[in-house]
Amino acid sequence: MEIALLTATVLLGLFVLLALFDGLYLHLIRYRLYEHKESRNEHISHTIRAVLFPIILYVLYLGNSDSAFYIGMALVVIDISVLGADAYMEKESRVFMGGLPKWEYILHL
């Protein structure tokens, strides 16, 4: 069981690092998505997901009640819905830069 917990923790840490690189560096610093009208909704969706992520982790991993589980699962459903909306609008959102770069698309997977 310890190896499973260690593996999950390492993978979660790698996911967080990739998400930070994508959200902070690419979206805020390099491409400044918040400055482009066509990218505003994408920026908002990423902000919503950035707020939801630590709450989901806290509720699902540290919550020890049935209500914490159901709240966490509801937040996961909301997060997946926002992710779907983000993926749908991504093509139009990046028109100003010639579309989403292939390597960033791979990062989003």
Looking at residue 17, its pLDDT comes to: 96
Looking at residue 29, its pLDDT comes to: 96
Enter the tokens of residue 80. Answer: 């997946």
Cα→Cα distances 68→5, 49, 51, 58, 71, Å:
20, 19, 17, 9, 5
Output 12 or 103, whichever has higher pLDDT: 12
What CA–CA distance (Å, rounded) separates 87 from 13?
23
pLDDT (tens digit, 9 = 90+) per residue, 43-101? Answer: 999 999 999 999 999 999 888 899 999 999 999 999 999 999 998 998 899 999 988 88
For 98, phi then psi, to 5°, come to: 80, 20
Looking at residue 102, its pLDDT comes to: 86
Looking at residue 101, its pLDDT comes to: 86
> pLDDT-based confidence at 5, cuts 50/70/90?
confident
> pLDDT-based confidence at 23, cuts 50/70/90?
very high
